[in-house]
Amino acid sequence: MFTFNLGEFESDYYESEIAWYIESPKQLSVLENHLNSIISLTKIVVDEPTKIDLFVMLHAHVIAAMEEFLSGTFIHEITNSDELMKKLIETDPKIGEKKLTLKDILREQR
């Protein structure tokens, strides 16, 4: 069986994605772009079996776009508010009890 390990690339990708969520307030416009593309794709003329497959894929795309919007908005709003960050740390046991090393703290300060 073939396995593919993205390793450092995958880590860098997710770190840059999280950094974008934290810094950018454009989650709504990204969602609107996805939804507009989906609307355009529903207008494509194809045979009936292909149309069913297309709508299944578009349904999955709507769900993925909504998930991205909700998670990105959550990350942006929480990380850019001291009050919300404090409330999250105080009320979520997994986050509140997470152990950080000095190495982790210094890496975040860069």
Task: Give the model confidence (pLDDT) of 38-90 as tens digits.
Answer: 999 999 999 999 999 999 999 999 999 999 999 999 999 999 999 999 998 88
* Domains in the chain: boundaries: 8-109
pTM tops 0.85:
no
Q: What is the DSSP string of 68-108?
A: HHHHHHHHHHHHT-HHHHHHHHHH-HHHHT----HHHHHHH
> Torsion angle of alpha carbons 46, 47, 50, 51, nearest 10°?
70
Task: Give the model confidence (pLDDT) of 9-29 as tens digits.
Answer: 667 777 888 888 888 889 999
CB 64 within 8 A of CB 58: no
